[in-house]
Amino acid sequence: MSTNHTSGAGSATHAKKAEIFCQDEARVDWHSKALWMLREKRDRAASSIPEWEQLRELGSQLKLHTLTHLDQYLEEFEKNCHANGIQVHWAKDGAEHNQIVHKILAEKQVKKLVKSKSMLTEECHLNPYLESHGIEVIDTDLGERIIQLAKQPPSHIVVPAIHMKKEEVGDLFHEKLGTDAGASDPLYLTRAARAHLREQFLSADAAMTGVNMAIADKGAVVVCTNEGNADMGANLPKLQLHSMGIDKIVPNLDSAAVILRTLARNATGQPVTTYSAFYRGPQTDGEMHIIIVDNGRTDMLQDKILAESLKCIRCGGCLNTCPVYRRSGGYSYNYTIPGPIGIAVGAQADDTNSIPWACTLCGSCSYVCPTKVPLDKIIHHHRRLKAKAGKLPYGKRSYMPLVGNFMASETMLNCSMSVARTALRILPGAVLKPFSGAWGKYRELPIAPKSSFETWFNKNRGQ
Amino acid sequence: MSSKQSILHALKRVAVEPQAMPEINVSPRLDDVIGQFETNLGAVAGTLHREAGLSGLQAKVDELIAQGQQVISTVEGITGNRTLPETAHELKDIDYAVIPGDLAVAENGAIWVNNKNLGHRVTPFICENLFLVVKADTVVANMHQAVKQIGLESGEFGVFIAGPSKTADIEQALVVGAHGACSLNVYLT
Ligand code: SF4
């Protein structure tokens, strides 16, 4: 097993953690390439849809509309869920979420829970909580199962085991599942996992999934997977639970259609996920519970710029395109969610105050985002918030008072982002490199776009 | 204050100005929807049988049964060798399931399946291989049109299925057949 990856929970700066990852140059190149492949597939899928930009705009607008009417939609959603025989629970934070889940499971004396991928339950640290209460939790998405067996957190939100080589998975499965020693063929390993997980599905007492969308006017939740693990899970035992952040609400099926068209295309380049399942009530004699979670989201909504990060549909596109993420690995971000969106939603919790600087402000993330989350603007805003709070990370203090003031000015915001881009283009690498931290020590700096995509688009294509 | 109340209360103070709901009006591509469907189904690793019809499907099913495969059908006019069991768990040794789809989507190869036609909800996932039967006149251009037509009554479950189950979680190598069906054949009628 690789020992290069430390858990996301530690408190080293992004640069320190990236430095660990950067030591293995071959792995960094391989990691970067694997993710860039996803980015290329995404580009092909996006350009095959003539209305792609229209869908991005619609996605952005409908999410903004929903976020600015969330109280109404959440109440409508709850009312309609009740009418469909679904039980709804509200949790203000991760701890309350976990308690609610445990209470439901304990009442039914659940011993084994099968789970499908959910960044929210990661965010709430549900697994260790349930395990400490004697409930066996089986993550059933293949990538999630791999890292669960390896006792690691996810390093990517869509492909959680992207940092692992097939030989490492082979060794792990040999040890845990009894596959042949030295076997590393992905087909063989996937089949072994299929057989192992079938046993788990068939013997589970309850299932839990995340939620891709919650449809207010139907009282239904949508769950998307390629493997079918969420549906194998939820449709076997009689008890199904779904955890969702308050930001997962969309008004109606028409909105869901817009997002279903961009989600998979932007994530992996597929036209749609293999399974997009709509649950509008429990199975016969079954029980269905939905836990609606805040955990800091209402706080984010009180900041005009941070609020827009809740438009995110967790496609992972911004991670795949990010030159820093690709070369520093998912474990360097001090948060469950890495990459640009991880900075956007996790920077405030980062006690090293370093992750807003794990970004070149190249703007590539904002350009690929299917709901137009203004990631570079948000990340820049986080720098400003850190500067204002006097929480600049170690090593940036010497030059940051000046830069900090510069960034703390709202009117300079867009301007300074274009300065960053210009700097990347015209300054010699030797001048910039000392500022780029561990990453630049081992790599060349990226070629920055001449302008942000918005500027380019407005100039060249906009009306 | 309950958590619900405190969340709803906090939501009264969203910093962003209220935004209007956009009108969702995306023009569909109506040229050769069946051809588009076939291409996209292929792209998601499914296979379309355009000409065989129900008789072709029954012949295929008979052949599979002769080979000793376990086949269950919820499509009228197609007979397998297994009947619907009492519990969902008893479906675990089904080799092939034959299920009707309500409609198909040209832009992405997805087929909408509703639990009214499944026996147990888990049928299309637990079977080793899946046959879906779709009427040619139910193929729509895109998801916007599809959601206008899907039936999803209170208490129900429905799913868009686009190809066989798949994963690329080990070094990005695409493997068909993760937890759900390992193959998908679609018969057009
Ligand atoms: S911020 Fe945008 S690109 Fe990044 S994961 Fe969310 S939706 Fe995808």
Task: Check CB contact of B16 with chain A, cutoff 8 Å.
Answer: yes
Query: What is the number of other CB atoms lying within 10 angstroms of the CB of residue A6?
Result: 16
The Cα of B149 is separated from the nearest Cα of chain A by a number of Å equal to 10
Q: Whose CA is nearest to atom 6 of ligand 1?
A: A312
Q: Does A95 touch chain B (CB under 8 A)?
A: no
Cβ A55 vs Cβ A46: under 8 Å? no
Q: Does B67 reach chain A within 8 Å, measured CB to CB?
A: no
Nearest to A283 among B110, B121, B158 (CB): B121
> Is the Cβ atom of A169 under 6 angstroms away from ligand 1?
no
Ligand 1 atom having least distance to the Cα of A319: 4
Q: Is the pLDDT of residue B153 over 80?
A: yes
Strand B103-105 relative to strand B111-114, pairing: antiparallel
pLDDT of residue A41: 94
| Cα–Cα distance, A141 to A208 (Å, whole number) | 12
CB A251 within 8 A of CB A73: yes
Reported ipTM: the value is 0.98
**What is d(CA A220, CA B114) in angstroms, rounded to the nearest whole number?**
14
DSSP letter string, A239-266: EEEEEEEGGGEESSHHHHHHHHHHHHHH
Which amino acid, B107? E
Average pLDDT, chain B: 96
Residue contacts between A and B (CB atoms, under 8 Å): 266
A197 touches chain B (CB under 8 A): yes
How sure is the predictor about B41, in pLDDT bands with cuts at 50, 70 and 90? very high
- Mean pLDDT computed over B15-30: 96
Contact status, residue A221 vs residue A276, Cβ threshold 8 Å: no
Strand ranges of the sheet holding A86-91, from the earlier edge strand across to the other edge:
A86-91, A287-293, A239-245, A206-209, A112-115, A136-139
> Is the Cβ pair A301, B160 closer than 8 Å?
no
Calculate how far, in angstroms, residue A312's C-alpha sits from the geometric centre of ligand 1: 5
CB of A316 shorter than 6 A to ligand 1: yes
pLDDT of residue A449: 56
Predicted structure pTM score: 0.89
Tell how far the Cα of A213 is from the centroid of ligand 1, in angstroms.
Answer: 14
CA–CA dist B47, B183 (Å, integer)? 9
* A158 CA distance to ligand 1 middle (Å): 11
> Smallest Cα–Cα separation from A196: which of A177, A168, A182?
A177
Give A262-301 as a 3 state SS string. Answer: HHHHHHCCCCCCCEEEEECCCCCCCEEEEEEECCCHHHHH
Q: Which of B108, B179, B184 to mutate to test the interface with A (most CBs of A within 10 A)?
A: B179
Q: Is A56 in CB contact (< 8 Å) with chain B?
A: no
Quote the minimal CA–CA distance from B78 to chain A in Å: 25
Q: Where are the alpha helices (DSSP H) in chain B?
A: 3-10, 33-43, 53-66, 123-126, 143-149
Torsion, CA A179, CA A183, CA A187, CA A192, rounded to 10: 0
**Which are the contacts of A151, defined by CB distance < 8 A and separation ≥ 6?**
none
Both tokens assigned to A244: 């969702």
User: Based on the number of CB atoms within 10 Å of its own CB, is A460 exposed (0-12), middle (13-18) or buried (19 or more)?
Assistant: exposed
Q: CB of A235 within 8 A of CB of B122? A: yes
Angle at A164 between CA A162 and CA A161, to 5 degrees: 40
User: Is the Cβ pair A74, B171 closer than 8 Å?
Assistant: no
Separation CA A38–CA A36 (nearest Å)? 5
pLDDT (0 to 100) of residue B128: 97
The ligand 1 atom at the shortest distance from the C-alpha of residue A317 is 3
Burial tier of B32 (Cβ tally within 10 Å: 0-12, 13-18, 19+): exposed
Q: How many CB atoms lie within 10 A of CB A135?
A: 20
* A309 CA → ligand 1 middle, Å: 9
In this complex, the residue of B10, B17, B162 whose CB is nearest that of residue A272 is B162
**3-state secondary structure (DSSP) of residue B141:** coil
Position A328: which residue type? S
Percent of chain B with pLDDT over 90: 97
pLDDT at B82 over 90: yes
Q: Quick check: A253 contacting B, CB < 8 Å?
A: yes
Is the distance from CB of A280 to CB of B157 less than 8 angstroms?
A: yes
Residue B61's pLDDT is: 98
Residue with tokens 């991928």: A117
Question: Tell me, what's the pLDDT at B189?
Answer: 95
Write the DSSP assignment of A391-425 as a string of letters: -PPTTTTTTHHHHHHHHH-GGGHHHHHHHHHHHHH
Gap between the Cα atoms of A153 and A161, Å rounded:
9
In the predicted model, residues of chain A with pLDDT beneath 70 are: 1-10, 394-463
Q: Is A371 in the pocket of ligand 1 (CB under 6 A)?
A: yes
- Predicted confidence at residue A164, as pLDDT, reads 93
Task: Identify the pLDDT of residue A409.
Answer: 53
Q: Which residue type does B130 have?
A: L
A369 lines ligand 1 (CB under 6 A): yes
Optimal mutation site among B11, B37, B112, B126, interface A, most CBs of chain A within 10 A: B11
Q: Which two tokens stand for residue A252?
A: 């109606």
Phi-psi group of A191: left, alpha or beta (phi > 0 → left; psi -120 to 50 → alpha; rest → beta): alpha
Residues 6+ apart with CB under 8 A from A209: A115, A116, A118, A223, A230, A233, A234, A240, A241, A242, A243
Please give the Cα distance from A122 to B127 (Å, whole number): 30
Q: Does A168 touch chain B (CB under 8 A)?
A: no
CA distance A113 to A201: 9
Contacts of residue B142 in chain A, CB cutoff 8 Å? 257, 261
Burial A242-271 (b: 16+ CB within 10 A, else e): bbbbbbbbbbbbbbbbbbbbbbbbbbbbbb
Q: Which residues on chain A are in Cβ contact (under 8 Å) with B26?
A: 51, 54-55, 58
Give how far B59 is from chain A: nearest CA, Å: 27
Q: What is the pLDDT of residue A302?
A: 96
Q: Please check whether residue A202 touches B, CB under 8 A.
A: yes
* Cα(B17)–Cα(B7) distance, integer angstroms: 19
| Residue A384 near ligand 1, beta carbon < 6 Å | no
Q: Does the beta carbon of A279 lie under 8 angstroms from any beta carbon of chain B?
A: yes
User: Are the beta carbons of B106 and B33 closer than 8 angstroms?
Assistant: yes
At residue A463, the pLDDT reads 45
Q: Which residues contact A141 (CB under 8 A, 6 or more apart)?
A: A116, A117, A160, A225, A227, A229, B169
Burial class (CB in 10 A: 0-12, 13-18, 19+), B63: exposed
Is the separation of the CB atoms in A235 and A116 below 8 Å? no
